[in-house]
Amino acid sequence: MYPTVSKSLPLSLLALASVSLADDNAESVSTLSFKNAFVNSGIVPEVIPALDPAVSFYATYKTEGDSNHSELLIPGSSLTVNEISTLPIEFSVENLNNATNITAQTRYLIYLLDADAPARSNPTARNLRHWLAGNFTLNGQNSSVLSTAQRLARPPNSGAPFTNFTAPKPDANSGVHRYIMALYTQPARFNTAGFESVGMEREVANWNLSRWRTQLGLGPAIGATYFVIDTGANGGNGTSAPQGLNNQGGNGGNNNNAGGQGGDNDTNAAAGIKASSVYVLGLTALAAVFGGLIMV
């Protein structure tokens, strides 16, 4: 049962009580675990030739059915289309000191793509770009769900993303789609110039990542993560299971065969690991401090 608030509680404390606290059960994921997840999923080398992340790269999203609950996305998490109907509420990184040539002025770019468009068994539009934006910087705040991670944000004067966000909504029964988000250090020339200045095209389907990296003069991704949408579940809307790591979506349901197709997401969810679970209300924290004002 949620605490009830005494009528004598000052309005200033009521405002504080509405603020949710970070999920105490969110845990760090090692860069090695990120690397292994991409191999186990088949993304490496099927979609990208290699991934050797220097940082742990996270996204945070609102879970379906509880808009007040924020979940840390870890590799292989299963999302519904509703949970990714908007951009993640934040991006964050750990171990940034492991990346080379990083300074306080460094900017970053992030993309989101569908590796399995339009269908896992026939990805004729592979690497369908759903979003691409640059000029991310460290904003001096920690992640709202993982206090050891530093938050990334785009300053207000950053301009429009190169590719505006298009919410993933794969066709029903088109397999388990793998959606990749990757983080790169941004060359300084793009702090004030758009990616089109080097000839990058607006076409989003069949995105050639190798050619793109060459165009922009990018090094390898310093971090990446991914989630899956199982279009065979819930009328094509997928299931919500912050699983990750143990099940990588490499076969759409049976982790013993990374090259297969199709599958049963219920099995995936049972095999998964929950990255963060218990949501703590701001009211609970206030109860400990102002026990006389808040009655449970």
User: Does 72 map to a domain?
Assistant: yes
Question: Cβ(168)–Cβ(84) under 8 Å?
Answer: yes
For residue 241, name the pLDDT band (cuts at 50, 70, 90).
Answer: confident
Q: How many CA atoms lie within 13 A of 72 on its CB side?
A: 29
Can you give the residue range of the structural domain that contains 50?
Answer: 29-229
Q: What's the CATH number where 137 sits? A: 3.90.280.10
For residue 5, being part of any structural domain is answered with no
Residues whose CB is less than 8 angstroms from the CB of residue 87 and which lie 6 or more positions away in sequence, other chains included: 131, 165
What is the rounded average pLDDT of the residues 147-153?
A: 97
Phi, psi of 268 (to 5 degrees): -60, -45
Whether pLDDT at 247 is above 70: no
Quick check: is 173 in a domain?
yes
Q: Is residue 171 part of a domain?
A: yes
Q: Is residue 234 part of a domain?
A: no
**200 lies in a domain?**
yes
Q: How many CB atoms neighbour CB 147 within 10 A?
A: 10
- Residue 22: pLDDT band (50, 70, 90) is very low
Asked if the structure places residue 250 within a domain, the reply is: no
Does a structural domain hold residue 271?
A: no
Average pLDDT on 76-101 reads: 96
Mean pLDDT of 202-224: 97
Total domains in the chain come to 1
195, 216 in Cβ contact below 8 A?
Answer: yes
Residue with tokens 């982790």: 255
